Amino acid sequence: MTERTISPSIELRDVARAHRPIEWGRWLLWIVVLAVAADFAWIVAYNENFGWPIVAEWFTAASIMKGLSVTLGLTVVAMFIGTAIGLVLAIARMSDDTLFKSLAGLFIWFFRGTPLLVQLIFWYNLSTLFPEISISIPFGPTLVSWNTNDLITPMTAAIAGLSLNEAAYMAEIIRGGLLSVDKGQVEATDAFGMTRGRALRRVIIPQAMRSIIPPTGNQLISMIKATSLVSVIAMSDLLYSVQAVYNRTFEVIPMLMVAVIWYLIITSILNVGQGFIERYYARGERGASDASVRSALRQEEPA
Amino acid sequence: MNVAAKMAAQATSAPLVQARNVHKSFGENEVLKGIDLDVMPGEVVVILGPSGSGKSTFLRCINHLEAIDQGSIMVDGEQIGYELQSGRLQKLSARAIAVQRRKIGMVFQQFNLYPHMTALENIVEAPIGVHKQNRREAEAYALELLKRIGLSDKANAYPRQLSGGQQQRVAIARALAIRPKLMLFDEPTSALDPELVGEVLATMRDLAEQGLTMIVVTHEIGFAREAADRVVFMDGGVVVEQGSPEVVLSNPSHPRTRLFLSRFIQNS
């Protein structure tokens, strides 16, 4: 009895020759899930209410393309301005200067604390609050002044609303990234007599990027979707353009599908782009060159 | 090397570093309780002492990484962090302090190389960005320094791809690249595996022989014995005793120095 429990041959016990038992449960699960997915795809494809021919007809229509370009343009501009202001806010918030610190804190508190939709409507209706906008010395003479209605178009209201809101969120993301950089790096830049600006640009921000990029990718994707809110202030973005069509034709679902598919295409492309950017800023982390990655992989293979 | 020349230089010139009555507290905890120390040009001063004796803090005060609470520190004729203006002492701006630091090289315990830059980029960063040298000149000097520390083949390696000892040698080259008047070493071998300590100490010994002014905080008694012109023993925030390595290390007069050294001799 004991003879049999001890291995008959040490070769048979070599784990390199081990077989994996067939996992029937997993196979079954795969089959069920695939069947349900196929059925669902079938239902969606053959449900006439989706109006796929209408989707195809409008998918690249001129008005939709125009709306799409507005959505993309608005995203890029708002993200760009938002990140720039966010960087300034983050640095101000981390400074030792109480004035800058409190101003940045106040900004972030306000723009994160109120709904974006409300902010957009406020910007759009700014003229009812301030019929004129002017630059003047406080309690002194006016230097220049504009009529608010001329200044605030749907476009400027949308850009102001989206980018100031974005700035508040980006400020927190950038601040988190800057705090994640090792204190020794800041000390090294100090010891070498680098100015604040150069230290940030050359040493601190490049390292902070590794923890700034992933949440910024999230922000970008939610920004693309947030631009759809500007349809309430008559800015002709992608959603507004499909709404304009279905208000005429009453083909609500097919037109919404046009918008949904475009949103999905853009966000998918962005996901791929984010992957590339993350890999760029990880250089020096896992060894930058292909050769070193390959040799690292080789080391993990069994000899 | 040319000990006579070194001595002659020291005899004729003023001290490069002049610390007077330096006090520093972290909250309630007074770490430095009145340090006086002069370092002559070309001198190699090794500061020894138990953990918590304030030796690293003192070193970091010399280039104003830590601001001192009382006393004064002069480097190369300038008061660090302050300026005397018509009889009144004024705090310098961050930019002016940055300028003062540019003639002081520093080597850290944790190397603090920039991880996203190659060895060469690490070395030329300050010469190009801070000292406004042109790239070709700076890179040529950086390659010369890499050759001197025996790492010519690692110019394009990132810090992660180097061993701890190699990283610290690159960090030394980075500090040398700004042609400093003074080099500060803050426990340069404490974060290294024992078998990597030797290569870093050898590099530092070369620098000492070339007549660079160095202040070294370390636990390496052997290095102090071989390379130091003067050993300073600190404990409890004060300088307990100082003198030539032969005197302080072989024949210490103060009981605390004796206790400290006996612990090291037992260990090795």
| Residue A79 · residue A220 · CB < 8 Å | yes
User: Which among B193, B236, B201 has a CA at the least distance from the CA of B221?
Assistant: B201
What are the C-alpha distances in Å from B96 to residues A100, A142, B79?
A: 22, 39, 11
pLDDT tens-place string over residues B229-253: 999 999 999 999 999 999 999 889 8
Helices A238-249 and A62-94, axial angle in degrees (round to 10): 150
Can you give the pLDDT at residue B4?
57
User: Which among A209, A214, A188 has a CA at the least distance from the CA of A199?
Assistant: A188
Please judge whether A191 and B106 are an interchain contact, meaning their C-beta atoms are less than 8 angstroms apart.
yes
Mean pLDDT within B150-176? 95
Does residue A285 sit at the B interface (CB-CB below 8 Å)?
A: yes
What three-state secondary structure class fits B267?
Answer: helix
Give the predicted TM-score (pTM) of the model: 0.80
How far out from the chain centre does Cα B127 lie? 19
pLDDT tens-place string over residues B84-135: 998 999 999 999 999 999 999 999 999 999 999 999 999 999 999 999 999 9
User: In this structure, are strands B70-75 and B44-48 parallel, antiparallel, or unpaired?
Assistant: unpaired
Looking at beta carbons, which residues of chain A come within 8 Å of B159? Answer: 284
User: Which among B74, B51, B61 has a CA at the least distance from the CA of B187?
Assistant: B51
Can you give the pLDDT at residue A132?
82
| Residue A251 · residue A61 · CB < 8 Å | no
Whether the pLDDT of residue B266 is over 80: the answer is: no
User: Which among B266, B256, B268, B267 has a CA at the least distance from the CA of B48?
Assistant: B256
Measured distance CA(B47)–CA(B35) in Å, rounded: 12
| Residue A209 · residue A281 · CB < 8 Å | yes
User: Which among B164, B160, B166 has a CA at the least distance from the CA of B203?
Assistant: B166
Place of tokens 């989707």: A55
Measured distance CA(B124)–CA(B104) in Å, rounded: 16
Does residue B91 sit at the A interface (CB-CB below 8 Å)?
A: no
Can you give the pLDDT at residue B167?
96
A43-49 long-range CB contacts below 8 Å, 24 or more apart? A49/A253
B55 sits in which H/E element: helix B55-62
Looking at beta carbons, which residues of chain B come within 8 Å of A185? Answer: 112, 114
Does residue A286 sit at the B interface (CB-CB below 8 Å)?
A: yes
Does residue A282 sit at the B interface (CB-CB below 8 Å)?
A: no
What three-state secondary structure class fits B256?
Answer: helix
Can you give the pLDDT at residue A19?
87
Please judge whether B125 and A202 are an interchain contact, meaning their C-beta atoms are less than 8 angstroms apart.
yes
Mean pLDDT within B24-53? 95
Can you give the pLDDT at residue B6?
59
pLDDT tens-place string over residues A150-197: 888 889 999 999 999 999 999 999 999 999 999 999 999 999 999 989
Mean pLDDT of chain B: 92
Can you give the pLDDT at residue B127?
96
Can you give the pLDDT at residue B164?
94
Does residue A201 sit at the B interface (CB-CB below 8 Å)?
A: no
Virtual CA dihedral for A7, A13, A19, A25, nearest 10 degrees?
Answer: 50
Write out residues in chain A with pLDDT < 50, as ranges.
Answer: 1, 287-303
| Residue B13's pLDDT band (cuts 50, 70, 90) | confident
User: Which among B240, B238, B232 has a CA at the least distance from the CA of B256?
Assistant: B240
Please judge whether A207 and B116 are an interchain contact, meaning their C-beta atoms are less than 8 angstroms apart.
yes
* Predicted ipTM of the assembly: 0.89
| Residue B129 · residue A202 · CB < 8 Å | yes
